[in-house]
Amino acid sequence: MSDKRNLSGERRTTDFGSAGARRVLRNKRIPAVIYGKKKNPIHLTLDAREFHNKVRFFSETALLKITLGKTKYECLMKDYQEDLIRGEIKHVDFYEVTRGQALRAMVNIHLVGSPIGTREGGVLEQVLYEVEIECLPSDLPENIEADVAHLGLNEVLHLKDVVFPDKVKVLEDLESAVASVKTVREEIVEEEEEEDVEVIDAAPAADEEDKDTK
């Protein structure tokens, strides 16, 4: 496992609550917790500088190794709280995975290639951005690449057309559309239809105002 996915932590056994979390943050550490099946949560703190330097390499499906003393935990980062004004991470949730036990995860879909249809005046539109899969932790991909290079005008790429790793099971409808290439005219018509719907929805409100003024 890459060193970029290794984190060292310290167990946190006291000083919980909001005030305790603020004290942890002032000491340049980040409160965190590791959850797992049939296991009590493990509270810990992480070095803020190390985490901020490495977090850009993480994704929801990146398998991380967290070391607490002599014990190592393989985890996925499930959620985090961020102070957007200061650009600081305030809390992190991890989920411990079990080797040899399948897990379910949402994986991002990345489109690759330049569609034939875009060279004919079409516009590429991505419809599905993530897909639920099931596999062993060791087989968990960081993302799924969907090749759209062969798509012509008005053609659609479905999940069944996407190449998934052999040991990954797709849990969604394989007929689901992932991406399509539309003509520019179709894009304009759809936008006009959306505007018409907004005008119709707004009309009753205007009628009510007329009644109130009478």
The domain locations on the chain are 3-96, 103-202
Per-residue model confidence (pLDDT) at position 200: 57
| pLDDT tens digit sequence for 24-73 | 999 999 999 999 877 789 999 999 999 988 887 777 788 899 999 999 99
* pLDDT-based confidence at residue 166 (cuts at 50, 70, 90): very high
What the block records as the tokens of 123 is 């516009």
pTM higher than the cut 0.85 = no
Whether 1 shows a pLDDT value over 60: the answer reads no
**Which is more confident, 177 or 213?**
177
**Which is more confident, 61 or 175?**
175
Least Cα distance to 113 among 28, 43, 178, 67 occurs for 178
- CATH for 103-202? 2.170.120.20
**What are the start-end ranges of the E strands in the chain?**
6-11, 29-36, 39-47, 64-68, 71-83, 88-96, 103-112, 122-126, 130-135, 143-147, 156-158, 169-170, 177-183
Per-residue model confidence (pLDDT) at position 197: 56
Whether 13 shows a pLDDT value over 70: the answer reads yes
**Mean pLDDT lowest among 75-84, 123-132, 146-155, 165-174:** 75-84
Whether 164 shows a pLDDT value over 80: the answer reads yes
Architecture of the 3-96 domain: Beta Barrel (2.40)
* Amino acid identity at 126: Q
**Which is more confident, 205 or 91?**
91
Whether 8 shows a pLDDT value over 80: the answer reads yes
Whether 142 shows a pLDDT value over 70: the answer reads yes
Q: Cα–Cα distance between 61 and 73 in angstroms, integer?
A: 15
| pLDDT tens digit sequence for 111-128 | 999 999 999 999 999 999
